[in-house]
Chains A and B, each alone.
Chain A
Amino acid sequence: TAGITQAPTSQILAAGRSMTLRCTQDMRHNAMYWYRQDLGLGLRLIHYSNTAGTTGKGEVPDGYSVSRANTDDFPLTLASAVPSQTSVYFCASSDGGDSPYNEQFFGPGTRLTVL
Chain B
Amino acid sequence: AQSVTQLDSHVSVSEGTPVLLRCNYSSSYSPSLFWYVQHPNKGLQLLLKYTSAATLVKGINGFEAEFKKSETSFHLTKPSAHMSDAAEYFCVVSERSGNTPLVFGKGTRLSVIA
Contacts and interface: CB of A to CB of B under 8 A. Distances in A.
B107 A104 contact: no
The secondary-structure label for the interface of chain B is loop
Contacts of A109: 42-43
Contact of B90 (A33, A43, A108): A43
A109 B44 CA distance: 9
Interface centre among A41, A48, A92, A101 (most CB of B within 10 A): A101
A103 B42 contact: no
A42 interface: yes
Contacts of A103: 34, 46, 49
A100 B95 contact: yes
B100 to A, nearest CB: 6
Interface string A90-102: 1010000011110
Contact of B96 (A33, A43, A101, A105): A101
Interface of A: 33, 35, 40-45, 48, 50, 56, 58, 90, 92, 98-101, 103-109
Given A42-B106, A50-B99, A109-B43, 9 more contacts: A40-B9, A40-B106, A48-B101, A99-B96, A100-B95, A103-B49, A106-B36, A107-B43, A109-B42
